[in-house]
Each structure stands twice: as structure tokens, then as C-alpha cells.
Chain A
Amino acid sequence: MGSVGAKEVPVLLSPEGIRVDGRRLDELRPLRVVAGPLHRADGSAFVEWGANKVMAAVYGPREVHPRHLQQNNKAIVQCKYNMAAFSVDERKRPGLDRRSQEISKVIAEAFESVIFAEEYPRTSIDVYIEVLQANAGTRCAGLVAASVALADAGIPMADLVPAVAVGKVAGEIVLDLNKAEDNFGEADLPMALVPQSGRLVLLQMEGHMTREELSRALDMGVKGCHVIYDKMKAALRDRYSAARPTEVAA
């Protein structure tokens, strides 16, 4: 942990194919989705995924700030992904960095692909993602939270957008990388799926994979997304079937 001391590559996979945290190759970390925990936002969601804790809030459609970004034929989707100073081992200095800006951009574009933006011209749909505790896969956790928050806000869209990272660890394709696997693995492939159409609206990749491995990774990711999709739908059902018992804490 931290920056002190030489880093040794840990054994990431047992001979039996069991991962450092005891999971099988195609097993997700425990995932909990809560819809609507915040009171001021138009829509919100909290996601606890492995050791990640992420909160998302959605505002809008509302007036565009800054005004010059306004579009006459459709709403714009603005996203801010931010990490709390205490969300990582070594304190992160508050404020925007290049990584956060890139993640914000690809997430906003993923949502623009499913939101019926033409129904709200000259407005902005603002998505805020706050990473409170990070442990690999925060962009996917943020996307899942934000997607549920968008639905909670009543924004019309084609579908929810589940997301997950697939990677390569000790030569094997694995689902939903944890921190050790993210740090020491051979590849990381975060993706976000539109289940209704079967298409991906977010895809990034870093590392090395063969064509064959990539193909398997994509299939594994799509399968994982469908499991996450069910949890997202269940969270929304819970939120709207009960009065309002949703809280951040378990």
C-alpha cells in the first residue's frame, strides 16, 4: 500500500484458476445499487461494488451553463467525474486532472448515445459522479450509478447502460478487475453496453491481448453487463415500489 517500499508482483491466479480475492475468472465482485439516496438532486444513485463506493447525481434538463454550449436542436449531456481526496491510498489533490476530464468525456458520450436529447432542445442534462472510495473500476461503477440516476431523474432514454471492465491476468481473461489485477494485470478493457441493442457505447483498452483473447473478453464483458443490468433494474424497482426507504448505508 502507498508509495513506500518496492512493489512485487503478487500471485494473481492460483493453479486452480482462483483469483486473489477468491473469485472465479468470470465472477463479478459483490455489487449493490441504491436508487435515489440524495434529496436535492433530480435523480441519484449510490453504487457499492467490491471496495468501490460511488455516488451519482443528475440535474436537468435545465438551463445550459455556460450558455454558448447550448444547442438549438437537442439537449447536451455534461458529465463531471471527480475523485474525493480520501478515496485513494495517497491523498489526491482536489480538482480536475486530465484523467478525470477524459473519463468525464467518454461517459458523457456514452449517455448521449442513449438519451433522447432531441426532446429537450436548448437544455443541459448534468451528470455528476463522485468517487468516495476507489478500488479499480471506478469509471464503470460511476457509469452504472449515473445511468440509474438518469432513470431516477426521469430522463427519457433508450436503455440503461451497464458497464464492467474485463482484463487479462496471468494470461487468463477475467471479469471485473480488482485493484491488484488492475495494477499488475496485462490488460484492462472497460466497456459499457446498451442491452436492448447489444451495442457498446463505451470502450477503452490498455495492455496487450491477442485477437482471440479480445474476442473472448468482449463476450465475457457483455455477459457480465447483463447481470449488472438486472441489478440496476431491481434498484429502480425497489425505489419506486416502496415509499422512500433508500439510504446510503446498508
Chain B
Amino acid sequence: MRELLTVKNLSVTFSAYHGEVKAVRDVSFPVYEGETLAMVGESGCGKSVTAKAILRLLDHSSAKVSSASAVLYKGKNLLTLPKRELNRIRGSEISMVFQDAMASLNPTMTVGNQIMETVRAHQAVGKREAAKKACELLALVELPDPEGLLKRYPHELSGGQRQRVMIAMALSCDPKLLIADEPTTALDVTVQAQILGLLLKLQKKLNMSVLLITHDLGLVAGVADRVQVMYAGQIIERGTTREIFQAPKHPYTAALLTAIPRRNMERRQPLTALPGTPPDLRLELNGCPFAARCRFAMPICKKQMPEETEGCRCWLRHPMAPKVDLMEGDRDA
């Protein structure tokens, strides 16, 4: 598989009222052609910031991307590309879908105009042709009556319809990579499944890569090719979906998995909850950020962050560490 996009040593800090928040800490990963990569983690772990940093969408007055960071796409570093060239890639080769479609669509512009605007920003086509293309796109995302929809305003549509419009807009120039930032979080469960199914279908059809950002590990199972788990601004485990779900290596991933309700669970068996909260990102973290909440924490965990071995950053992987069953307790039941 060929690498489509590579994120290298990405670090982002925010200057907030209480001090510097180190939201993303030296994150590196590739996105391969045609794959679906899921980035999973709880809120505040830096997954959304990472996604926005790729397209340089962070508010430059408060967010600082370290100079060592790079986002390589077709041999170019998106983080240092001139604005003009970046705009040529944004929305056409790499596009993005956001969580809250209501807020992400301009309330005073018709759906049609917003899609046509994207088409015309990247292709030299006339108004009529752009309108035709917009119609096709709305049909592509399986919205009924595309012609009529063109003249509607976002607030006249339902939540699912709005998210479909967002997807249509993102697909308007056949992107190579679609970044979907919690695309289904704001939707009802039934609609979630529809939207996700649609995304997958379109991915196959258009042969694009999808970077799916979500906090819902359960959602990822049937969708993603690869998964990477973020915690406190770092990627702590990565692997194929099968690896992650069948044999998680990091206690955090294991804890996330045991927190998903499953069909084969005993009646009245309590769901396992993870105690505690993620660490304060204003602090410099020396040890493993998860140590405080980890069932298997060892003295070394508090002193030093382990290097990545076999896609996992955990001291349990160290030859000197005892062998433990991460899913223990859960399997007993």
C-alpha cells in the first residue's frame, strides 16, 4: 500500500487563559491510499486538533503548531505550503466533514450555492454546470429531490440531511482523502448507521482514503481498516482493526473495549467503567499519561514514557515486565 499522506512529529499547543495546553504531543502516522483509518480517543485527547492541523484549520491566534511538525502530501509539506497552493488542495484533494452540520453550514446561503461554490472554487465551470454537478452530488449522497434541495436553506433540513449535504460538499471534487471529524456524533443512532454506511459505500465507489475521527470505538469495528488510539495528545496504540479488537496491547485500549456493551454479556452484568479522568494537558508529562488510571501501573510507568514497540507504547511490552491478561475479569464473566 502506498502512503497518501504522512503526519510527522506533529505537536500543537494552545495558549489558554490558564496556561499552555499541549494538546498534541509529537504524533506521527501515515494514511495509506484507499484505506479507512480510524482515530479513536475520548474528548480532549487531541484527535480533532490533529485532524484540523492537517488542513491548517486551527485558529492561528491561539494554536501553535511546532516548527518540527510536517504533514507530507505528494511530496509537499502542507504546513508550510503557500496559502494559494494550500487552497487548491483544501476541499478538492483533501476535504473535511465536521461534527455539527447545522453550525458548519452557512445559515444564510442555500444548500445549492454552498455546494456550487466549492465546485467552482476548484473547477473552471459555469454556473449552470456547477448546478448540475451539485444536483448529481446530492443524488450521490442519496438525498431525495436534489433539484428542490438546491434552493433550500440548512435550517429547513433534518440533521441527517444536513450531514449528507456536508458529505456531498466534501465529495464535490473527488477528493483523495476525506477527513471525517466525528461525522455522526450529533445524530440519532439509526441515522448514524445510515451516514456511516453511506460514507463506506462512497469510499469504495470513489476509491478514496478516509480518516475517521471518533470517540466511539464500537462504531469503528465494522468500518475501519486500521485503528489508532489517542490518549493525552499521543498515539498509544495502533494496528489493524482485527488486532486492536481481538488482542489489544495497551491497557487503555483494553479498558475501552470492555466498556462497550456486547450482545453476549450476562444479564445485569455491570459495564466496566474506567475510573478517573485524563491528565491535565497543561502539565509536562514525564511518565505514561495513563499510569494514574491504569490497573497495571508499575513504578516505571510514572517515570518514563515507553517507546513504541509493535504499535503500542506500554511498559508491559518490555521484556522485564510481567505477563498479564489485559482483558482479564471481562473474559471471566
Do A and B assemble together? no
Question: Contact residues of A with B, CB < 8 Å?
Answer: none
